[in-house]
């Protein structure tokens, strides 16, 4: 009833294969784009940008990246934090070494550097699977954080071991450093997110994505039908690393501005992004967005409701948040392993039939 596909005819093959085949979805998608690009930048303030929208956009990119690896290719990774750190440090080194180059290219290049590092750490995946691979990527996490803490070259020999983003501009508008406007950083991240999401969507429904999914569903069968596991797994690591690197670079340069590797890119970050895709939905681009939105918004909502409205002590609210996130993960794993994305799919199905369910 509400969600109709009747009368929505497709006459060409490409029309049938588009990302949003149903008209109402397509309209919704364009409306979301218009709102994101043309309306929000005029209404945004520092609080909305720095507390909600920037983390949401950046974590969405990271979640898309991890979802390609874990959700589409089935290679469990606990190294997300470490790979984000690679992106951040690559961006820092590039920003300070080549100040005349636009930050836009630095961010993309940091994605490339991270992709290479990610492929390197993906090599063991050819031999080991499942839990053992998770442990191998965990080693990447600890090794990378240790490396960035240990080798002063990475932080340009600064006394504190921190990296600070110097001011860089795009079209004359500062996007990093202290004097940024909320709308500029927001738009910069949004552009990256939209590009990443489009690329990811088109990769996952194309040949590459099908190979990944074949490997995920049964690697031996995939090999027999002609999928090269070496290429499939390593491309998944590479593409995933590229997105995660971009998110790490944005996280450092635009969102935090100053980063200490152990604190910002510790094991907690790996788990956070993993929880995002578990709650959002493995193997779904929409799920990456939903999971990121959920885990970014939840603490803020809890804080607003608990501290600002009810006046509870801040520590109780902080503890409550841990309890709720933990409970939700257990609940999702039991009740809906495919996450928020599946809930959304079911809701659409129900809406389509409503009010005549049979």
Partner 1 sequence: MKMKFATMAVTAMMAAAPAMADLVFPSLSYRTGPYAAGGIPFADGYADYFTLLNERDGGIGGVPTRLLECETGYNTEKGVECYESTKGEGALVYQPLSTGITYQLIPKTTADGIPMHTMGYGRTSAANGKVFSHTFNYPGTYWNGASGAVNYLLDENGGDLKGHKIALVYHNSAYGKEPIRTLEELQKKHGFELSLLPVDHPGQEQKSQWLQIRREKPDTVLMWGWGVMNQVAIQEAANIRFPMENFIGIWWSGAEHDVLSAGAKANGYKALTFHNVGRDFPIFEDIQKHVVDTGKAAGAGDQIGNVLYNRGMYAAMLAAEAAKTAQEIHGTAEITPAMMRDGMEALSITEDKMAGLGMPNFGPSFDVSCENHGGPGLVGVTQWDADSQTWSLISDFAETDMEVIGALIAEDSNAYASENNIEMNCK
Query: Whole-number minimum distance, CB 289 to partner 1, in Å?
Result: 19
Query: Whole-number minimum distance, CB 71 to partner 1, in Å?
Result: 25
Query: Whole-number minimum distance, CB 45 to partner 1, in Å?
Result: 8
Does 260 help bind partner 1 (rule: CB under 8 A)?
Answer: yes
Does 41 help bind partner 1 (rule: CB under 8 A)?
Answer: no
Name which of 164 and 284 has its Cβ closer to partner 1: 164
Query: Whole-number minimum distance, CB 161 to partner 1, in Å?
Result: 5
Does 301 help bind partner 1 (rule: CB under 8 A)?
Answer: no
Query: Whole-number minimum distance, CB 82 to partner 1, in Å?
Result: 14
Q: Which of residues 49-68 bind partner 1 (CB under 8 A)?
A: 50-51, 55
Does 256 help bind partner 1 (rule: CB under 8 A)?
Answer: yes
Q: Which one of residues 53, 86, 264, 276 is an interface residue with partner 1 (CB under 8 A)?
A: 264
Name which of 223 and 260 has its Cβ closer to partner 1: 260
Does 169 help bind partner 1 (rule: CB under 8 A)?
Answer: no
Query: Whole-number minimum distance, CB 104 to partner 1, in Å?
Result: 21
Name which of 19 and 162 has its Cβ closer to partner 1: 162
Stretch that binds partner 1, among 47-55, 63-71, 117-125, 220-228 (CB under 8 A): 47-55
Q: Cα–Cα distance between 34 and 337 in angstroms, integer?
A: 32
Strand partners, 169: 174
Q: Are 118 and 136 in contact (CB under 8 A)?
A: no
Q: Are 189 and 44 in contact (CB under 8 A)?
A: no
Name which of 313 and 326 has its Cβ closer to partner 1: 313
Interface size with partner 1, residues (CB under 8 A)? 36
Q: Are 263 and 35 in contact (CB under 8 A)?
A: no
Q: Which one of residues 29, 314, 333, 350 is an interface residue with partner 1 (CB under 8 A)?
A: 314
Does 81 help bind partner 1 (rule: CB under 8 A)?
Answer: no
Stretch that binds partner 1, among 67-75, 119-127, 175-183, 334-342 (CB under 8 A): 175-183
Does 300 help bind partner 1 (rule: CB under 8 A)?
Answer: yes
Q: Cα–Cα distance between 313 and 318 in angstroms, integer?
A: 9
Of 174, 193, 192, nearest in space to 184 by CA = 174
Stretch that binds partner 1, among 15-23, 80-88, 183-191, 312-320 (CB under 8 A): 312-320
Does 46 help bind partner 1 (rule: CB under 8 A)?
Answer: yes
Q: Cα–Cα distance between 67 and 337 in angstroms, integer?
A: 14
Dump the DSSP string for 208-256. HHHHHHHHHH-HHHHHHTT--HHHHHHHHHHHHHHHHHHHHHHIIIIII
Give CA 98 to chain center in angstroms.
27
Of 204, 241, 209, nearest in space to 61 by CA = 241
The three-point CA angle 134-138-141 to 5° equals 145
Strand partners, 174: 169
Radius of gyration, alpha carbons of the chain: 21
Strand partners, 173: 170
Q: Which one of residues 18, 19, 162, 202 is an interface residue with partner 1 (CB under 8 A)?
A: 162
Query: Whole-number minimum distance, CB 171 to partner 1, in Å?
Result: 19
CA quadruple 173, 56, 299, 68: dihedral sign:
negative
Strand partners, 258: 164
Name which of 211 and 303 has its Cβ closer to partner 1: 303
Strand partners, 163: 259
Strand partners, 259: 163
Q: Which backbone phi and psi does 100 adopt, to 5 degrees?
A: -85, -15
Q: Are 232 and 211 in contact (CB under 8 A)?
A: yes
Footprint on this chain of partner 1 (rule: CB under 8 A): 46-47, 50-51, 55, 149, 159-162, 164, 166-167, 177-179, 255-260, 262-264, 266, 299-300, 303, 307, 313-315, 317-319
């Amino acid at each position: 009833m509400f969600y109709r596909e009747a009368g929505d005819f497709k006459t060409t093959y490409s029309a049938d294969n588009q990302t949003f085949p149903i008209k109402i979805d397509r309209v919704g998608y364009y409306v979301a784009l218009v709102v994101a690009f043309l309306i929000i930048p005029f209404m945004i303030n520092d609080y909305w940008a720095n507390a909600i929208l920037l983390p949401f956009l950046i974590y969405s990119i990271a979640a898309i990246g991890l979802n390609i690896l874990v959700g589409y290719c089935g290679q469990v990774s606990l190294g997300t934090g470490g790979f984000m750190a690679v992106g951040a440090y690559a961006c820092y080194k590039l920003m300070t070494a080549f100040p005349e180059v636009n930050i836009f290219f630095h961010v993309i290049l940091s994605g490339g550097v991270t992709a290479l590092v990610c492929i390197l750490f993906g090599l063991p995946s050819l031999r080991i699977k499942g839990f053992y691979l998770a442990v191998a990527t965990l080693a990447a996490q600890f090794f990378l954080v240790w490396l960035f803490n240990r080798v002063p070259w990475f932080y340009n020999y600064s006394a504190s071991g921190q990296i600070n983003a110097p001011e860089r501009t795009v079209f004359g508008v500062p996007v990093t450093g202290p004097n940024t406007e909320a709308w500029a950083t927001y738009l910069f991240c949004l552009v990256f997110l939209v590009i990443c999401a489009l690329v990811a969507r088109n990769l996952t429904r194309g040949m590459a994505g099908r190979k990944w999914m074949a490997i995920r569903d049964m690697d031996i069968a995939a090999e027999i039908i002609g999928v090269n596991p070496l290429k499939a797994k390593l491309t998944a690591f590479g593409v995933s690393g590229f997105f995660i690197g971009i998110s790490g670079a944005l996280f450092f340069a635009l969102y935090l501005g100053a980063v200490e590797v152990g604190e910002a890119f510790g094991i907690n970050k790996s788990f956070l992004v993993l929880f995002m895709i578990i709650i959002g939905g493995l193997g779904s681009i929409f799920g990456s967005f939903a999971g990121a939105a959920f885990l970014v918004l939840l603490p803020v909502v809890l804080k607003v409701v608990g501290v600002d409205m009810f006046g509870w002590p801040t520590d109780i609210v902080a503890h409550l948040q841990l309890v709720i996130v933990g409970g939700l993960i257990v609940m999702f794993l039991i009740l809906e392993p495919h996450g928020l994305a599946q809930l959304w799919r079911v809701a659409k199905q129900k809406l389509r039939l409503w009010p005549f369910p049979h």
